[in-house]
Amino acid sequence: MRLRCAVLDDFQNVATQLADWSAVADRVDVVSFPEHFDGLDELAIALADFDIVVTLRERVRFPAELFARLPRLKLLVASGMRNSVIDQAAAAAHGVTVCGTGSSPTPPVELTWALLLGLARGIVTENAALRSGGPWQSTVGADLHGRRLGLLGLGKIGSRVARVGLAFGMRVSAWSRHLTQQRADEVGVELAASMQELLADSDFVSVHLVLGDRTRGLLGPAELALMKPTAYLVNTSRAAIVDQDALLAALHEGRIAGAGVDVFDTEPLPVGHPMRTAPRLLATPHLGYVSRANYETYYGQAVEDIRAFLDGAPVRRLG
């Protein structure tokens, strides 16, 4: 009996192009969904007849209620090796194997710098003016050389962002709850005495923390108020680390120079959401992990996960 595999949120319709699915083609029919399903009801109906689901990152929640409504589901493959929106206990209780894939830290590093440079040099504003016959030069760029880059988090992504900042001649400092002087020295950055000091001293602040109970809402109104009015905030990590209402208020009131954001409280971002029209905001639709090499890894290893599962020896199991 042939199995059915659903690939969720294949917005660019590339899941079957960037990987070789021939290894499972004799046993599995693959259906790609380029549209996003809103809510558990819509998702449960769409996936009712599938045995395997491939999901991207943490965009789609898989709570116990959803597993209970998908009796055919036997294998769930999520890109990356960490996923906080899959109820692992419920998956196990319903006999669903959960597997992951590799993921490169390089694409989010590159997007972080795309946002930071775009903000600093007014790229979007100047490009839009040039294309529409607007003013010839209307912004004055913010310098990077000699300015302070403050990093919240110095892990795989944060450390790479740091090294690019150093190459630009920036003064780089970092902070997280468990960051040590030894780690800061290894990367070649300063260890900030506190998050408050980092926020107050930095010209650019970039967030590279894992979302958890201690980091949810970490940057609220009081923390954003510490930033210089000439400073920029970049968040390519998780939206919930930054209080979204507080950020919107800071942007509308001009209390910071701007923000570059790739992550949102709801994704895809609904039409009419205030983040779509906020001033001083350079926003992208969660492109941090979206690159050809990363997608080749995601979907290529998803095929490997499916084949291994069908052969009775699952690999890269989560939970």
Active site residues: 238, 267, 286
Which whole-number Å values give the CA distances from 175 to 91, 136, 178, 259, 295, in the listed order? Answer: 36, 40, 8, 19, 31
User: Could you tell me if 220 and 243 are in contact, meaning their C-beta atoms sit under 8 angstroms apart?
Assistant: yes
Q: Where do we find the tokens 């690159």?
A: 291
Residue 172's DSSP bridge partners are 149
Residue 137 CB neighbour total at 10 angstroms: 9
Cβ atoms of residues 75 and 319 within 8 Å: no
Cα dihedral 73, 54, 212, 89, rounded to 10, equals 20
Whether the CB-CB separation of 308 and 52 falls below 8 Å is answered with: no
Q: Which residues contact 315 (CB under 8 A, 6 or more apart)?
A: 99, 304, 305, 308
How far the first Cα of the chain sits from its last, in Å, is 28
Cα–Cα dist 142/147, whole Å:
9
| 168 closest CA partner among 186, 142, 194 | 142
- Closest by CA position to 262, among listed 113, 102, 40, 81: 113
Is the Cβ–Cβ distance between 289 and 108 less than 8 Å? yes
Pairwise CA distance, residues 109 & 260, whole Å: 13
Largest CA distance in the chain: 65
Q: In Å, how far from its chain's centre is CA 63?
A: 20
